[in-house]
Chains A and B, each alone.
Chain A
């Protein structure tokens, strides 16, 4: 990943430390920004823990997440079950651990779908302009005409459950974001000299697009990816909570909350932990995204 230091930014002359241009010093500057931003580091840490948990779920879980134990239902936290049990006596901690798998499985697919569809659409719109641009962007507008969560619900309603339809339901609403970012960068880079020059020497449009323009989109896309992950995890859990995601007995954070909600009086703590887990995971991605945005924002390179 390359960090573009915007040369055109009006920085006070005194700000130009010797060697700002070298890659190494850029990395050092980047590291300084990141390490100063403890919240971003915290976010990165939360994400790492989440990914680690999802991958090594079988090793981390203390119980079989699907093992029913009616006698021990709705227990509070204790030595046998660290975070207590649910309505069917299943171990909350183990279900949360496996829930990370579900969450990431859906989020990765949905985010990928949004980015993979949105990036080329934005590039094409920006690069060809005029008619093409108008058509693509009207499509994006019409996606945006649906409030995101509503679009997901409507799509799931139409497509039915299952992993693929969750990918689509959640991913579609983020396509416009990627398209807009890439289109914006393409439009601003298109007129720059080096792109013109590349065209002059006869490079094909496609090569110019991928070789010269897209690298400039990397930073804003990475930032968006981080926020999009948070969004995908939130929507997945919302859909599960509404009973529109994976069917029971899948270990999904949203579904866990749905299952406990009629029994709140009996064991409110069983509702506490899944919600905290979702919130912390989303917080992690948001903090990390904020940190990345600060990092990539050229203004932050100035003194």
Chain B
């Protein structure tokens, strides 16, 4: 049943999370040369100028005076307790900063996903029903282009159009949707389009293919043979089953959304964790980098878990096993 499935999935996650934690731990260890020097912003030529005491302090804080496995264990045990270390730049706990900026990322991703679905569902269904007509070609053309177009370029083009030429929308800034929903939407409009474009394109293609598959199924023919109206056959029968299949890829699409948010948040100065990640990289603030990668990866893993479970719940063939 569902509960046991969730438990089973959680068990499967254990080794994955273990490996993920090693990966994130290694981010610092992989830095070529002396990581401590790098984090202090020193190049080989300027390394002589570094304050010895500052160097030793950081080295100790990061645990570089201990062997690798010990360092890992120390790090993990702290992470599990919610201690992600201190930002080298702001000197504040990493977790605090992350939590502060996490909602913006999630709100943007959700807005983008909703927008993507609102466009993709009708587009995919209509394209399939009108296969090989101009509507279909139009939808497929858009989705091919949506997949191919780099998001940062789309962002720049939208800024040129909406902010520079028309002056309709702000190109930077953020307000919480919980406080000022309308203002949030104004600010989120362009970032959400940019972030959701390729997701929408993928979903459209996938839904169209799935819909064509369903429309060729025997049960659709049987439903038509019973004299059911086209709308009932298409929406109630074929589309329901297609959407069920689409749920499975929504989980994978969050990879696109979370991955893409790094660029989108940076361009639109959106104060989320993904732009925090890049700020961390630019400032060589590795604890921040680690924390941001960790939280984004966990989010992704968690969403996939939820989607998997939701799928099991939605499909009667599975639910009633």
Nearest CB of chain A from residue B271's CB, rounded to whole Å: 17
Q: Is B85 an interface residue (CB 8 A)?
A: no
> Interface readout for B260-271 with A: 1 if CB under 8 Å, 0 if not?
101100110000
C-alpha gap A157/B287 in the complex (Å):
12
- Are the CB atoms of B150 and A142 closer together than 8 Å? no
Contacts of A230 in B (CB 8 A): 148
- Are the CB atoms of B300 and A138 closer together than 8 Å? no
8 Å CB contacts to B: which residues of A203-232?
230
Q: Looking at the complex, which one of A150, A238, A244 makes contact with B150 (CB distance below 8 Å)? A: A238
C-alpha gap A8/B157 in the complex (Å):
50
C-alpha gap A158/B29 in the complex (Å):
8
Contacts of A154 in B (CB 8 A): 24, 27, 277, 289, 293
- Are the CB atoms of A275 and B289 closer together than 8 Å? no
- Are the CB atoms of A148 and B26 closer together than 8 Å? no
Q: Is B31 an interface residue (CB 8 A)?
A: yes
Nearest CB of chain A from residue B124's CB, rounded to whole Å: 16
Known: A150-B296, A154-B289, A286-B144. A279 touches B150 (CB 8 A): yes
Q: Residue of A at shortest CB range from B19?
A: A142
Q: Looking at the complex, which one of A147, A272, A279 makes contact with B258 (CB distance below 8 Å)? A: A147
Nearest CB of chain B from residue A303's CB, rounded to whole Å: 15
C-alpha gap A6/B280 in the complex (Å):
52
Contacts of A271 in B (CB 8 A): 153, 156-157, 160
Q: Residue of B at shortest CB range from A153?
A: B262
Contacts of A149 in B (CB 8 A): 256, 259-260, 262-263
Nearest CB of chain B from residue A255's CB, rounded to whole Å: 11
Q: Is A278 an interface residue (CB 8 A)?
A: yes
Q: Looking at the complex, which one of B32, B145, B157, B262 makes contact with A159 (CB distance below 8 Å)? A: B32
Contacts of B256 in A (CB 8 A): 147, 149
Q: Is A30 an interface residue (CB 8 A)?
A: no
Q: Looking at the complex, which one of A145, A153, A278, A286 makes contact with B300 (CB distance below 8 Å)? A: A145
- Are the CB atoms of B255 and A279 closer together than 8 Å? no
Contacts of B151 in A (CB 8 A): 238
Q: Is A48 an interface residue (CB 8 A)?
A: no
Q: Is B126 an interface residue (CB 8 A)?
A: no
Q: Is A287 an interface residue (CB 8 A)?
A: yes
C-alpha gap A150/B297 in the complex (Å):
9
- Please give the residue numbers on chain A whose beta carbons come within 8 Å of chain B beta carbons, in ascending order: 138-139, 141-142, 145-151, 153-154, 157-160, 230, 234, 237-238, 241-244, 254, 257, 261, 264-265, 268, 271-272, 274-275, 278-280, 282-283, 286-287
26 A–B pairs (Cβ distance < 8 Å), ordered by A? A142-B19, A142-B20, A145-B16, A145-B297, A147-B254, A147-B257, A148-B255, A150-B258, A153-B277, A157-B281, A158-B31, A160-B32, A238-B151, A238-B152, A238-B263, A241-B150, A261-B156, A264-B160, A268-B160, A271-B157, A272-B157, A274-B153, A275-B156, A279-B150, A282-B149, A286-B148
- Please give the residue numbers on chain B whose beta carbons come within 8 Å of chain A beta carbons, in ascending order: 15-17, 19-20, 23-24, 26-28, 30-32, 144-145, 147-154, 156-157, 159-160, 164, 254-260, 262-263, 266-267, 274, 277-278, 280-282, 289, 293, 296-297, 300-301
Additional A-B contacts beyond A145-B301, A151-B259, A241-B152 (9; CB < 8 A):
A142-B15, A146-B297, A150-B274, A154-B289, A265-B164, A275-B157, A279-B150, A282-B148, A283-B145
